[in-house]
Amino acid sequence: MMYLTLKTLHILSAIILFGLGLGTVFYKIMADNSGNHAAIAITSRHVVLADWWFTTPTVIIQPLTGYFLARQMAASFSDAWLVWTLMLYALTGLCWLPVVWLQIRMRDLAVNSLADQQALPARYFYYAKLWMWLGVPAFFGMVGITTLMVFHNSLWS
């Protein structure tokens, strides 16, 4: 029963982590491309909130449940699939941390320039490009992690 509970938590948090990531990217890009300053400001605010409320807990839940699942499965932490999973998770995390910083800066730039009735500064769009490019390896990292979680038994057996 413990294994199935851990597995359910692990899968649900992975769905939230991956799905929310795709959702925030979609809405942020759509808002940025709209040119609507108010929409950009509120979407930027919501993206930051979503990261704090949903992404942060799942970033913590994933390795915890993964660790206990691996122990329940008697997997060795030197198994190739697990080593690759941990490396991809670290890569994704290294991309996510600056993304959070960039999101907060973009939110502040959008909200403050809207309040001051100024155009979005060029720095906002520079940050948006960095944000997007950091998301690319994070996206493929998550695809790789998910693939390893599903196929680990058949990849190296």
Rg (CA), the chain: 18
pLDDT for 36 equals 96
- String of DSSP letters for 70-88: HHHTT--TTSHHHHHHHHH
pLDDT score for 111: 97
Residue with tokens 């950009």: 40
Give the count of beta carbons closer than 10 Å to the beta carbon of residue 35.
9
What's the confidence (pLDDT) of residue 157? 59
Instruction: Give residue limits of the domains in the chain.
Output: 2-155
Per-residue confidence (pLDDT) for residue 74, from 0 to 100: 87
User: Rounded to two decimals, what is the model's pTM?
Assistant: 0.87
Sequential pLDDT tens for the chain (157 residues): 889 999 999 999 999 999 999 999 999 999 999 999 999 999 999 999 999 999 999 999 999 999 999 999 888 888 888 999 999 999 999 999 999 999 999 999 999 999 999 999 999 999 999 999 999 999 999 999 999 988 987 776 5
Burial of 86 from C-beta contacts in 10 A (0-12 / 13-18 / 19+): middle
The alpha-helical segments, DSSP class H, found in 35-74 are 37-50, 56-72
